[in-house]
Structure 1
Amino acid sequence: MMTGMASSFSGEITRLAGEKLIPLLLMGAATAFILGVGMTVTAAYILLAIVLAPALIGLGLDPIAVHLFILYWGMISFITPPVALGAFAAASLAGATPMRTGFEAMRLGSVIYFLPFFFVLNPALVLHGDAITILLEVGSAIVGIVLIASGLQGHLVLLGSFSTDIRSMAARIVLIAGGLALAYPEMASNIAGLAALPAAAILRRQSSD
């Protein structure tokens, strides 16, 4: 019965996504998140590994990356309001406001919403490939994560904090876009991602003048 359900669900979600990678990943992320809301991480992962992983692997994605993708998205609800079970438990221990703690956890852990996509789009991040490729891709992904986190948090090492004016907001958007470009396994996107750093620095300097 479970095998039949898995086959049916995989076929249906692939059909709805039109066999296109990005829509399928977004639908898979939403499915994993919803199931993770009402289930423990282990239970959600086991179910998703049966019903969702075949659809993603069927598009030629790396199996290990796919399983990391569904595992991450299955547990993201633990820091995402209004559920945020992990954050609410921490709030009760700290005597803090649960919902405020949940949003703070979401803000501090914002990079985790992007990280699962990096895994499936770039198998080198799960150590599949030659040593040089792995080193280059992991290095660019680390820089990309730093840029994304800096853009989301409004602070970049050596540049300091960003204000709330238009140029600073533009600089933060540039950093996020650059971080996403660095995580994509293409030389052109990596160059564009690196260019985001000086561009953001210029915008930030103009903002402070």
Structure 2
Amino acid sequence: ASWLTPRKMRPRDILDALALGSRNMVTTGLLLVAVGLVVNVIAMTGVGNTLSLMIQQWAGGNLVIALTLVALASLVLGMGLPVTAAYIVLATLSAPALYNLIADAQLVELIAAGQALPDAVGAMLMLAAPDKLGLLGHSMSTDEARGIVEALRTIDPSLVTGLYDQVLDPALLLGILLSAHMIIFWLSQDSNVTPPVCLTAFAAAAIAGTPQIRTGFTSWKLAKGLYIMPVLFAYTPFLYGDWPAMLEIFFFTMVGLYAFAAAFQGHLERDHGIVARLLLTAVAICLMYPGQSFLHWGGLVVFFAFLAWDIVVSRRPANTRLPT
């Protein structure tokens, strides 16, 4: 390709490039030996399947714990498996658990809003939790609605999963299923940029001639959105809401990620200290916090005011003193 540019590579330049690539491959090859050990451990012990099964038991119905466990499992699996293979292993055993947890949250919202349930649900509650029977069909708190779902699950877990098809919209269920798989697929990529095994970062370091581990940690810092997006998939209708809702989530998320990156790097339009970085972090959390419009708009106003002030100050000429 260089022969099509004004600065063509001469035969000596090609030999120098081959020599440089060989020298860079020495360090990369040593790292691949260490990675190979991890690959063999994961493949021979079956720790990948074991971790996936443990996620369902340890989460205990808590979506935050489930997301944390999936992230840790994907990081371990990604050390020894390609992204697609790690996704397949996790999705096979963990996607149903994530699907049920997200669908439970939607079901709880409908019950809390007074959604009518099939008569069979009332009959089951009369046997297991008669004190909750009077709440059905009326507005209630989220905790009371969650208590009804847990009481039904105590009777028969399949009763709750059957309610998904009877109460929730099929398009909503499809979106929830897509969200569960996108969470796993998104997190399956974190091993590419997370030390100690981050082959993509190591390859980039070999090309750029920079230290491998430092490059790995830098890539990890720059890829923070990799860990934020799965939370949005789980707690917002980003993939299954109506168009206005999805566009609103997209807009506030993009601004929030920009604010978060500025806080993490300590630089917006100019360098900032710890106080400004903490403020930007709080603004980013407000912008991306699920389901709180007043936090979104408040964070947006504060961020743009901060950005405008930053632009004004950065363009202000530095004070200079004339020699006396």
TM-score by length of 2: 0.53
Residue aligning to 2:254: 142
Residue aligning to 2:284: 179
Residue aligning to 2:218: 104
Contact 2:78 2:189 in 1 (8 A): yes
Paired residue total: 192
Question: In the aligned structure 2, how far is the partner of 1:87 from the partner of 1:138?
Answer: 28
Q: Secondary structure at the match of 1:185?
A: coil
The answer for unaligned runs of 5 or more in structure 1 is: none
1:24 matched to 2:66: yes
Q: What code does the residue aligned with 2:297 have?
A: I
1:161 matched to 2:270: yes
Residue aligning to 2:77: 35
Question: In the aligned structure 2, how far is the partner of 1:177 from the partner of 1:193?
Answer: 8
Change (3 A) 1:82 1:99: same
The answer for unaligned runs of 5 or more in structure 2 is: 1-47, 104-175, 315-324
Q: Could you tell me the percent identity over the aligned residues? A: 34
Residue aligning to 2:193: 79
Query: Residue 173 of structure 1: CA displacement?
Result: 2.1
Query: Residue 79 of structure 1: CA displacement?
Result: 0.9
Q: Secondary structure at the match of 1:129?
A: coil
Question: In the aligned structure 1, how far is the partner of 2:63 from the partner of 2:294?
Answer: 20
Per-residue CA deviations over 1:173-193 (Å, capped at 9, x if unaligned) read 222232233222321332343
- Which 4+ residue blocks in structure 1 deviate beyond 3 angstroms? 198-204
1:189 matched to 2:295: yes
Shifted more, 109-118 versus 20-29: the winner is 109-118
Per-residue CA deviations over 1:101-128 (Å, capped at 9, x if unaligned) read 112212222222222222222222x2x2
Task: Let me know the Cα RMSD of the aligned residues.
Answer: 2.9
Question: In the aligned structure 1, how far is the partner of 2:208 from the partner of 2:309?
Answer: 39
Q: What code does the residue aligned with 1:173 have?
A: L
Question: In the aligned structure 1, how far is the partner of 2:196 from the partner of 2:52?
Answer: 27
